Amino acid sequence: MTDEDHPASFAAEMLRVRHGHAATDTREVPEEAAVAIVHDASTYAVMMATPRDLEDLAIGLSLTEGVIAHVGEVRGIEIVHGDLGVEARLWLEPGRAAALAVRRRTMAGPTGCGLCGVESLEQLRAAPPRAPAEIAPLTTAQVQRAMAALEPAQALGRATRAVHAAGFWTAGEGLVLAREDVGRHNALDKVIGAMARQLIAAAGVLVLTSRVSVELIQKAAAIGAPVIAAVSAPTALAIRTAEAAGITLIAVARSDGFEVFSHPSRIVH
């Protein structure tokens, strides 16, 4: 049984009170499960996530955490559902064990927590980013089309109004893929994992429904993404990190426009 066989949402019974009237009803709510990322039989991280697209999540997290340099270093992957949660078991190529030992940690944190479980402030320092992929300048209309394309891909979001989404868009193909999760970090890791598994180069735009904190910029930098665009605002550290990594950071992207916080030369009017 794959993770796709497990429901991503649940019809919860509830009492709805509106305008002074009460009635029983149901609401679709997202599922949330403890997901352990396991490398070579050793747990690396435990997080709360939507139990879908977990192979993408495991590959994406392994890439953005620097456990692997490319998807070819994963010899095998298995998703195992249990009573307490889900294990995403990865078997790595020989030679990755030493690199993994440097970054070894066990995280137990809330939904999609980006920095839970680090053992020291030194661990917050990200690995040097990859050089951003080459990309033709984007018009303002293309940026708006990229953001608009994510909405139709959010089936779980429309059903529950309680999850984040991330996607990858290119000028030539439009929205190439999208993933959803209760955690915004998880949604982006799922997209990055799916891109790696499908051998999709990062020469496009990562689009997000969330605010932009530094961890999301670090994840984009890990794969050499040149542009990241989000519905909500960025943090100050995210802006500084995007500037240093050579990433064009677009935020507060709405139907009437957007704001560019770093490397605006990739945007033409």
Nearest 5 degrees, angle CA 181-CA 188-CA 121? 110
Q: In a structure prediction context, what are the per-residue pLDDT tens digits for the chain, which is 269 residues long?
A: 556 667 999 999 999 999 999 999 999 999 999 999 999 999 999 999 999 999 999 999 999 999 999 999 999 999 999 999 999 999 999 888 666 766 564 444 445 555 554 555 555 555 567 889 999 999 999 999 999 999 999 999 999 999 999 999 999 999 999 999 999 999 999 999 999 999 999 999 999 999 999 999 999 999 999 999 999 999 999 999 999 999 999 999 999 999 999 999 999 98
* Residues sharing a CB contact under 8 Å with residue 207, sequence separation 6 or more, in sequence order: 146, 147, 149, 150, 166, 167, 168, 169, 175, 228, 229, 230
Is 113 among the catalytic positions?
A: yes
CA distance 92 to 132: 26
Q: How far is CA 211 from the centre of its chain?
A: 12
User: For the segment 92-138, what is each residue's pLDDT rounded down to a tens digit?
Assistant: 998 886 667 665 644 444 455 555 545 555 555 555 678 899 999 99
- Which stretch of DSSP H or E encloses residue 103? helix 96-103
The answer, as to whether pTM is greater than 0.85, is: yes
Tokens of 254: 């709405």
Catalytic one of 29, 108, 113, 135: 113
CA distance 67 to 219: 13
Are residues 178 and 150 in contact, defined by beta-carbon separation less than 8 angstroms?
yes
Delineate the domains of the chain, giving CATH numbers in brackets. 33-124 (3.10.20.10), 138-268 (3.40.140.10)
Which pLDDT score, from 0 to 100, does residue 95 have?
Answer: 81
Which pLDDT score, from 0 to 100, does residue 114 have?
Answer: 54
Are residues 206 and 223 in contact, defined by beta-carbon separation less than 8 angstroms?
no
User: Amino acid identity of 142?
Assistant: Q
